[in-house]
């Protein structure tokens, strides 16, 4: 097989496939051009999921006659001039690939004016200009894309339904509306207005248009940072939560991005405040020097890399946590006889809604649940989740005091590790020691365990330690490692579903649970109990009122 240089036609199609994978990609690229041009009003129209028609109209700076034609040449851009500029990118677009890539897979029309002369109209088919003329238009640009992928049936086959593709377009416009609340966005799908923002510069107004007035009113302002990382935006209190992460919106220097590091930082900040599988609403812009972030790691520029992950992770987690700690909840007081001071969200989550009344133990159900009676009705307590919370708080206190409770092994236990586990052990030996483990190497990929945390069931020690090392190996951040380690140890030390408990054991567990920081949730955020109020019971038995 001989090596051949691909023809320009083939290379253009390959490049187009990297930049334009669906109609929403076209909308994203055109929106970025409009925003880079300083537009304050942008209208997006889409028909048939964007396959039949996409039109983006703006009032930006526009192009003159010569620039309009050059814009459709590959790698033609006004946003960088040399290699040094790649380290200091302040625009959304910069590669000069968007317009030629779109033109290679669709029919494209551009009408643009910089107000200095008559508007320029261009029509392109198969990437070539077929019509060039002067027309009338106020300053700004309109780009119309028709019959996307018409000559690429294989690509069309991979698109979803028109409704699904329209949803992706709506998401792109929504994200940039959140990133640029000072720009008026208008999205029309199949001739109907799907989204309209005021462009008044108030992010809360945009949130109201997207997520509703009630959500917008409850959102909390985030404002934090230092000379390296500055954060601004809105985040929701624990009472506003969603079932997926699709309501996490991250922007780096106002560029919409996807980044697992940022999502993990949010999870850490809300640890213990939300049930497992529930997520907050977050709109966060990370302002960071351009040289500290690489926006050139993905063809569509949707993913970025940070030069220092730990700094960004800590900044985001800390900003959200401080926002939750400081934000007051109106009309919520600290019980009778208090000074009238409003509780913070963090205090509220950890005390007013979390505190338990005095409970009377009734018995055990299915060897898994403790039945208890209180002045407010019946409580069904998950014995494993409740004990997890107790042990987690105990570990937290021991860690803070640097006084782990340990138990020695009658005989050292030899454990064979996988290569990944061995590496985690070598990297996290100090952390393991802080929790009460005394472990030493013993031959190739084998270690000897001499002491362990007192709460650990030594009968399952091998499984516990291996899972702990697997967890530590997958977590990079020290704070996350500590959190996950305590969760794992608490889980393996807790009583199990199926364990039969004596009445005194159940009473003791409930007393300990009452003294924890958050008795109503386990360390993973799952509920420890179900409460059936006396009123609910009366209603179910037809005794309401």
CB atoms within 10 A of CB 312: 23
Q: Does residue 540 lie within any of the structural domains?
A: no
Q: Let me know if residue 340 belongs to a domain.
A: no
The per-residue pLDDT for range 405-439, each reduced to its tens digit, is 999 998 999 998 888 888 888 888 899 999 999 99
The strand ranges marked E within 291-359 are: 293-294, 305-306, 328-333, 342-344
Same domain, 421 and 304: no
For position 375, what pLDDT does the model report? 86
Q: Please check whether residue 342 lies inside any domain of the structure.
A: no
- Asked if 438 and 449 count as a contact pair (C-beta separation under 8 A), the reply is yes
Q: Is residue 222 situated within a structural domain?
A: yes
146 & 218 share domain = no
Is the separation of the CB atoms in 148 and 105 below 8 Å? yes
pLDDT, mean of residues 467-485: 82
The one-character DSSP state at 181 is: T
Tokens of 219: 């959102």
Interatomic CA distance for residues 145 and 494, integer angstroms: 61
Same domain, 375 and 393: yes
Residue ending a domain, choose from 162, 196, 230: 196
Q: Is the dihedral of CA 10, 15, 20, 26 positive or negative?
A: negative
Q: Looking at the predicted structure, is the pLDDT value of residue 81 above 60?
A: no
- The CATH number of residue 22's host domain is 3.30.565.10
pLDDT attached to residue 80: 46
Same domain, 365 and 510: yes
pLDDT at 334 > cutoff 60 = no
Verify that 120 and 16 share a domain, yes or no: yes
More confidently predicted of 362 and 293: 362
Say if residue 39 is in the same domain as residue 184: yes
Reported as type and span, the H/E element at residue 189 is strand 184-189
Q: For the domain that residue 522 is a member of, what is the CATH number?
A: 3.30.1370.100
Q: Is residue 295 within 8 Å of 259, Cβ to Cβ?
A: no
CA 431, CA 96: separation in Å to the nearest integer?
49
Is there a single domain that holds both residue 156 and residue 287?
Answer: no
**CATH code, domain carrying 246:** 3.30.230.10
Rg (CA), the chain: 29
Range of the domain at 524: 360-530
| Length of the chain (residues) | 545
Number of domains making up the chain: 3
Say if 66 falls within a structural domain. yes
Rounded Cα gap, residues 106 and 254, in angstroms = 29
Exposure of 543 by Cβ count < 10 A (0-12 exposed, 13-18 middle, 19+ buried)? exposed
Kindly state whether residues 426 and 450 are assigned to the same domain. yes
Question: Do 167 and 109 share a domain, yes or no?
Answer: yes
Mean pLDDT of the chain: 85
Please check whether residue 277 lies inside any domain of the structure: yes
Q: Write down which residue in 149, 165, 196 finishes a domain.
A: 196
Domain end: 300, 326, 352, which one?
326
- Mark whether 95 and 159 lie in a shared domain: yes
429 lies in a domain?
yes
Higher pLDDT, 82 or 491: 491
Which residue is associated with the tokens 């020097």?
A: 289
Does some domain include residue 88?
yes
d(CA 370, CA 289): 55
Query: In terms of domains, do 182 and 216 share one?
Result: no
Same domain, yes or no: 39 and 182: yes
Q: 14 pLDDT exceeds 60?
A: no
Of 72-86, 311-325, 364-378, the one with minimum mean pLDDT is 72-86
Give pLDDT tens digits for 378-399.
999 999 999 999 999 999 999 9
pLDDT digits (tens, 9 = 90+) for 159-177: 988 988 998 999 999 999 9
pLDDT of residue 493: 93
> Which stretch of DSSP H or E encloses residue 378?
strand 377-382
What was the pLDDT predicted at 137? 92
């Amino acid at each position: 097989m001989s090596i051949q240089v691909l023809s320009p036609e083939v290379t253009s199609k390959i490049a187009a496939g990297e930049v334009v994978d669906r109609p929403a990609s076209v909308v994203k690229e055109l929106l970025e051009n409009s925003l880079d041009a300083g537009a304050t009003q942008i209208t997006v129209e889409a028909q048939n999921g964007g396959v039949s028609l996409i039109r983006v109209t703006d009032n930006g700076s526009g192009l003159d006659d010569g620039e309009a034609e050059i814009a459709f040449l590959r790698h033609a851009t006004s946003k960088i001039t040399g290699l040094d500029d790649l380290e200091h990118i302040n625009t959304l677009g910069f590669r000069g690939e968007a317009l030629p890539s779109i033109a290679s897979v669709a029919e494209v029309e551009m009408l643009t004016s910089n107000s200095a002369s008559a508007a320029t109209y261009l029509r392109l088919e198969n990437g070539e200009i077929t019509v060039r003329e002067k027309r009338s238009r106020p300053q700004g640009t309109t780009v119309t894309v028709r019959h996307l992928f018409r000559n690429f049936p294989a690509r069309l086959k991979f698109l979803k339904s028109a409704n699904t593709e329209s949803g992706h377009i709506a998401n792109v416009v929504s994200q940039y509306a959140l990133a640029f609340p000072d720009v008026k966005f208008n999205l029309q799908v199949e001739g109907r207005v799907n989204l309209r923002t005021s462009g008044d510069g108030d992010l809360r107004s945009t949130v109201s248009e997207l997520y509703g007035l009630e959500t917008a009113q409850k959102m909390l302002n985030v404002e934090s940072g230092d000379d390296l990382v500055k954060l601004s935006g809105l985040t929701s209190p624990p009472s506003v939560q969603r079932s997926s992460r699709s309501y996490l919106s991250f922007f780096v220097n106002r560029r919409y991005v996807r980044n697992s590091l940022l999502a993990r930082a949010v999870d850490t900040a809300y640890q213990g405040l939300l049930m497992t599988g529930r997520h907050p609403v977050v709109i966060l812009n990370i302002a960071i020097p351009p040289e500290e972030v690489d926006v050139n790691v993905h063809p569509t520029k949707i993913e970025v890399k940070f030069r220092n992950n730990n700094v960004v992770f800590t900044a985001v987690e800390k900003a959200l946590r401080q926002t939750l700690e400081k934000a007051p909840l109106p009309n919520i007081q600290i019980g009778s006889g208090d000074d009238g001071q409003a509780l913070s969200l963090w205090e509220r989550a950890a005390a007013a809604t979390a505190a338990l009344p005095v409970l009377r133990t009734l018995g055990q159900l299915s060897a898994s649940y403790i039945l208890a009676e209180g002045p407010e009705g019946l409580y069904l307590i998950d014995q494993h989740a409740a004990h997890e919370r107790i042990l987690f708080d105990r570990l937290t206190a021991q860690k803070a005091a640097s006084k782990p409770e340990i138990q020695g092994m009658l005989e050292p236990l030899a454990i064979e590790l996988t290569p990944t586990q061995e590496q985690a052990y070598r990297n996290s030996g100090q952390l393991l020691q802080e929790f009460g483990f005394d472990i030493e190497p013993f031959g190739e990929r084998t270690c000897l365990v001499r002491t362990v945390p007192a709460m650990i069931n030594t009968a399952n020690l091998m499984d516990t330690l291996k899972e702990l090392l697997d967890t530590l190996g997958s977590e990079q951040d020290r704070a996350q490692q500590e959190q996950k380690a305590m969760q794992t140890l608490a889980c393996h030390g807790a009583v199990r579903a199926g364990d039969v408990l004596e009445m005194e054991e159940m009473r003791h567990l409930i007393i300990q649970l009452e003294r924890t920081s958050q008795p109503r949730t386990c360390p993973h955020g799952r509920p420890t109990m179900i409460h059936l109020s006396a009123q609910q019971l009366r209603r179910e038995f037809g005794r309401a009122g």
